[in-house]
Amino acid sequence: MTHPAPVHLQTRELFRLDERTILISGGAGAVATSVGESILESGGDAVFIDMVPAPKPETWKSIQAIAAANGTRASYYQLDVQDASNVDPVFDKIRPTLRFPLRGLVACAGISGESDACDYPVDAFRKILDVNITGTFLITQAVAKEMHRAKVTGSIVIVASMSGWNSNKGINTSAYNASKSALHQLARSLAAEWGHPQNTFLGSTPSELNPNPSNEPRAIYPPIRVNTLSPGHIDTPISEAARVRGLTSEWSKQNMLGRISQAAEFRAPVLFLLSDGSSYMTGADLRVDGGHCAW
């Protein structure tokens, strides 16, 4: 089933999110907060999830004020994205509260860790992969199921990194870099699977991990677009240790604009990817890195 192009929309409607709910994982972080506010300002309701019990009171007060001013709604739920057993129960809580179908995801949840490769503790390496890859997959899977349930089109934005394209100069973060590169491929794979039913052959091959494959025709759903956003270095509270070490000034020299980015600079790229303005874009990466990888 193909979906018609939104050619009837006026230009001012291309980046609106009216009558849609967007879920934001890692929702207590600086980028997620900034992006969430722009979603609320663009007509969408926003559901923030994060592993902390609640966002900072001053942050949440600002979010609620923006929602009230724009006739939108914001809600917050505690969820650790790598806790597979808790994903469905949290979504069972979210579902009955929604005014509009869940039609978007901004997957921001992720962690990093710096260590020389020969000294990297295996548990730390696995945790980074589990949060950044498996956790992202679990929340993306849950959102896609909700879109299928509601039989609506949707757009998923997975926050990867320019570190999925290059090896960061002067800082040893092999696990993080590998996980962000994996997110690029995860997005391409999901975009292919959820874009059109003809993209997948009938049935699947039996294996140890797939002992009883179904040969029945797959259900047909409206398309879900899946793209990645790859930011460059971002100035956030988490960057404080890097600033103390002088790393942020070095990073500023490594891109074409001579500075690192601010969290608010990712509002427009995310709105573009979520909205009908990017209706013919899927399986792609939008790199917003100040020219870092082009130099």
Give the model's pLDDT for residue 237: 78
Q: Where are the domains of the chain?
A: 15-199+221-294
Query: Which residues on neighbouring strands pair with residue 256, listed in sequence order?
Result: none
Q: Within 13 Å of residue 238, how many CA atoms lie on the same side as its CB?
A: 12
The one-character DSSP state at 207 is B
- How large is the average pLDDT for residues 258-285? 97
Give the model's pLDDT for residue 1: 58
Q: How far apart are CA 154 and CA 19, in angstroms?
A: 12
- How large is the average pLDDT for residues 43-47? 98
Say yes or no: domain 15-199+221-294 is CATH 3.40.50.720: yes
**Tens-digit pLDDT profile for residues 84-119:** 999 999 999 999 999 999 999 999 999 998 999 999
Give the model's pLDDT for residue 244: 86
- How large is the average pLDDT for residues 228-251? 88
Task: Give pTM, 2 decimals.
Answer: 0.96
Give the model's pLDDT for residue 47: 98
Catalytic residues: 176, 180
**Tens-digit pLDDT profile for residues 180-199:** 999 999 999 999 999 998 88
pLDDT(5) > 70? yes
Q: How far apart are CA 142 and CA 76, in angstroms?
A: 17
Measured CA to CA in angstroms, residue 54 lies from 30, 57, 61, 76, 146 at distances of 14, 8, 12, 7, 24
Handedness of CA 24, 29, 32, 34 (dihedral sign): positive
